[in-house]
Amino acid sequence: MANIAMVLKRVEAERSALPDSTVELLRAASEGCERIRNIVKDLSTFSRGGSEVVEHVDVEGVLDLSIRMAEHLTLSRARVVRDYAQVGPVRANRTQLGQVFLNLLINAAQAIEEGNAEINEIRVSTCEREGDVVVTVDDTGDGMEPAVLSRIFVPFFTTKAQEGTGLGLSVCHGIMTQLGGEIAVESTPGEGSTFRVRLPRC
């Protein structure tokens, strides 16, 4: 990043004869490095703390971090809309909760074809209901047939033949059960899916 910044500074100060397109490539490289730096920073946050550490967790903070982590997939597919209500903290493991949210965001993005980000949406919302905190992830993707919907939490079941392991949602289900919460889904073919995560409020 320092090398790119130095080159840009010299180019701009000396009004170099480099084509504008080359200068724009340098700027794009600089922005790309900045995003990588932020991703690495976020990854280090995710990796902190043992799997047994349970604490009071700010749900919105973990959601925002997960949204940034999923940007490489969501940017070209949908607008991510935050619809947060004021909710209290939950008692959970921060890393595991982030894993659940990141998995749901990645699944939502992968359910939407690339190229129509302006007309598609992934909505992330929070609310309190009957003493629990509920996080909802809605997408305008392909949706799921009933036969698929009934098996999505089954280990090793996947519709992604080339890249899926079929463990993501089953792991999420296990994490939520361990934390005393639950995860549920509704989906309509051609209309998208809605995942709800319910956690006991502190």
Q: Where are the alpha helices (H) located in the chain, listed in sequence order?
A: 2-13, 20-47, 59-69, 71-74, 94-110, 146-149, 168-178
- Looking at residue 49, its pLDDT comes to 47
d(CA 50, CA 72): 27
CB distance 139 to 192 below 8 Å: yes
pLDDT tens-digit map of 52-105: 688 899 999 999 999 998 998 999 999 999 999 989 999 998 888 998 999 999
Res. 177: pLDDT tops 70: yes
**pLDDT band at residue 170 under the 50/70/90 scheme:** confident
Nearest to 97 by CA among 153, 135, 149: 135
CB distance 197 to 100 below 8 Å: yes
Q: What is the mean pLDDT of residues 40-44?
A: 66
**pLDDT band at residue 47 under the 50/70/90 scheme:** low
Nearest to 196 by CA among 83, 94, 101, 58: 101
**Which residues make beta-bridge pairs with 154?**
none
For residue 56, the SS3 value is strand
Pick the CATH number of 54-200 from 3.20.20.330, 3.30.565.10, 3.40.50.720, 3.30.70.1230: 3.30.565.10
Q: What is the mean pLDDT of residues 166-187?
A: 87
CA 50, 51, 56, 61 dihedral sign is: positive
CB distance 109 to 138 below 8 Å: no
Res. 165: pLDDT tops 60: no
The domains of the chain are located at 2-44, 54-200
pLDDT tens-digit map of 20-35: 788 888 888 888 888 7
Q: For a pLDDT cut of 70, what percent of the chain falls above it?
A: 88
